[in-house]
Amino acid sequence: MKRVLILTSVATFFLCISGFAQVNTDSLAIVAKISEYQLKLGKLQNTVNKKTNDKQTDSLQAQQSANANASAANTLSANPQDKKDARQADNAAGTAKSDARKARKAQDRFDDVNTEILDLQNKIAVQQLKLDKFTRVTYVSAATATPLLPDSTQHR
């Protein structure tokens, strides 16, 4: 009888230890994911200023190229038979087209970075919620178990 009692208590002890070890490794894995996501987030946030500047610079260049194209087109429309004006208008149109493409790509890259940042922030929040399940300590005192009287200062 004594032997069964000792074996039962030892088995219960080992089961409890293995349960705590599982919780500990799960929470460590979650903390590692959070750290990985935060590192990626920091790297992306460091590139936001450069992407913003690239977007603004490319957009300004595209606008200037479009203005130069419009002016070359106006010059050509004044004298449609002039080969020099035709060549300049064609070159200006090509430059405006390529600069517009660069501006669109810069805008897309900027949007992609912002999307990735939001995605990582959401992933971090989800992992934080998972971690809260492991770290939350629920404490209910005997004093809060008694019903509270309604607050008479609030008027409805």
pTM given for the model: 0.66
In a domain, residue 81? The reply is yes
The total number of structural domains that make up the chain = 1
Angle, alpha carbons 26-32-33 (nearest 5°): 95
In a domain, residue 74? The reply is yes
Q: Which two tokens stand for residue 102?
A: 């660069």
Does residue 20 have a pLDDT over 70? no
Q: What is the mean pLDDT of the chain?
A: 80
What's residue 132's pLDDT? Answer: 86
Range of the domain at 48: 27-130
State the Cα–Cα distance between residues 72 and 88, nearest whole angstrom. Answer: 7
In a domain, residue 150? The reply is no
In a domain, residue 149? The reply is no
